[in-house]
């Protein structure tokens, strides 16, 4: 393994986030006034990659953007964040993905994505990135690109002995069972856990129940994130599920907090493999809690220098 090559590889999405801040989420058919609008860099895959990079990971992104200004700007954004762009492909056949995001006064959000070019990332692109994927320590995937391509990436990594983190977002009710058996870490939030299992997740004990259902489908470790309530870990190695709480903060904007958590987790798995999963989750929770205290997605993600240095011990 060459430490100079990317150690965290994300195969996933890039979106341009079009964000409106409003007092509350509008009802169907309703028009309401917002207080602010801004455009930012988002997409679950890219968010996770950029958080890992800001913590000091060597990262590469495998993704597809359009041959448009949003796509060109995104490539510049990766470069500024020291993400390897060798596998950021461009297409003239679709526009760069976009996300319309509404954030209410409590920092909660509603998001619609139009994935566009993300859905054109294909097997040929993965073939070009195979050496980078199998040369990494950790690969991270989500569901904002084609599920078939996502599963193929997880299979390539798994076969090559690379640890896999899979974030089934947005969730698909009838997920191919192979996703579970190719995920070392399967990490979803409350609503995704509910779609995947049918178990309503309103509390840590609900999360344990849903996590146990997911674990039985073949993954090694299941994490169910619970926003301000932290995260529940259900693992094959430990019969007792664990609830890792997070310290309470005043949330300004929770958009992308789960991505900050996953980018941080990928960083710790790649660079601090000796830590227990509980400790990695605790540290990743802290990093995600910093991200919710500022507006925007990647704009709110901390750099290594902004964090207490004992997080890196
Ligand atoms: O998880 C947050 C992200 O979801 C946003 O950045 C948006 O682009 C959507 O992909």
Q: What does the alpha-carbon distance between residue 147 and residue 143 come to, in Å, rounded to a whole number? A: 6
CB 130 within 8 A of CB 156: yes
CA 41 to ligand 1 center in whole angstroms: 9
Contact 17 CB / ligand 1 (< 6 Å): yes
The mean predicted confidence, pLDDT, of the chain is 96
Contact 255 CB / ligand 1 (< 6 Å): yes
CA 96 to ligand 1 center in whole angstroms: 14
Q: How far is CA 222 from CA 96, 164, 213, 230, 286, in A?
A: 32, 12, 10, 14, 19
For the stretch 211-229, pLDDT in tens is 999 999 999 999 999 999 9
For the stretch 250-259, pLDDT in tens is 988 899 999 9
Quick one: pLDDT at residue 212? Answer: 96
What percent of the chain lies above the pLDDT cut of 70? 99
Test site for ligand 1: of 61, 96, 111, 254, most ligand atoms within 8 A of the Cβ: 111
Locate 203 and state its tokens: 């509390």
Quick one: pLDDT at residue 108? Answer: 87
Query: Model-level pTM?
Result: 0.96
Confidence band, pLDDT 50/70/90 cuts, at residue 95? very high
CA 49 to ligand 1 center in whole angstroms: 13
Contact 256 CB / ligand 1 (< 6 Å): yes
In this model, does residue 2 exceed pLDDT 80?
no
For the stretch 73-90, pLDDT in tens is 999 999 999 999 999 999
- Give the catalytic positions in this structure: 259
CB 139 within 8 A of CB 166: no
Q: What does the alpha-carbon distance between residue 19 and residue 296 come to, in Å, rounded to a whole number? A: 8
């Amino acid at each position: 393994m060459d430490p100079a090559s990317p150690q965290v590889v994300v195969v996933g999405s890039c979106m341009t986030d079009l964000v409106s801040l409003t007092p509350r989420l509008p009802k169907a058919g309703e028009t309401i006034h917002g207080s602010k609008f801004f455009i930012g860099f988002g997409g679950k895959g890219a968010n996770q990659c950029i958080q890992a990079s800001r913590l000091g990971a060597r990262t590469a992104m495998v993704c597809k953007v359009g041959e448009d200004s949003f796509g060109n700007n995104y490539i510049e954004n990766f470069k500024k964040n020291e993400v390897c762009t060798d596998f950021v492909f461009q297409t003239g056949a679709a526009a760069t993905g976009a996300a319309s995001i509404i954030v209410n006064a409590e920092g909660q959000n509603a998001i619609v994505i139009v994935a566009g070019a993300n859905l054109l990332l294909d097997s040929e692109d993965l073939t070009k990135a195979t050496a980078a994927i199998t040369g990494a320590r950790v690969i991270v995937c989500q569901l904002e690109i084609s599920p078939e391509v996502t599963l193929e990436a997880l299979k390539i990594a798994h076969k090559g002995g690379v640890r896999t983190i899979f974030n089934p977002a947005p969730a698909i009710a009838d997920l191919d069972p192979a996703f579970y058996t190719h995920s070392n870490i399967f990490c979803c939030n409350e609503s995704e856990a509910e779609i995947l299992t049918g178990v309503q997740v309103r509390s840590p004990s609900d999360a344990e129940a849903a996590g146990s259902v997911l674990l039985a489908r073949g993954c090694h470790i299941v994490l169910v994130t619970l926003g301000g309530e932290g995260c529940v870990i259900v693992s094959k190695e430990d019969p007792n599920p664990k609830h890792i709480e997070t310290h309470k903060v005043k949330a300004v904007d929770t958009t992308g907090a789960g991505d900050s958590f996953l980018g941080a987790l990928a960083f710790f798995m790649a660079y601090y493999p000796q830590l227990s999963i509980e400790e990695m989750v605790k540290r990743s929770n802290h990093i995600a809690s910093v991200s919710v205290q500022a507006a925007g997605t990647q704009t709110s993600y901390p750099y290594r220098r902004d964090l207490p240095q004992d997080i890196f011990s």
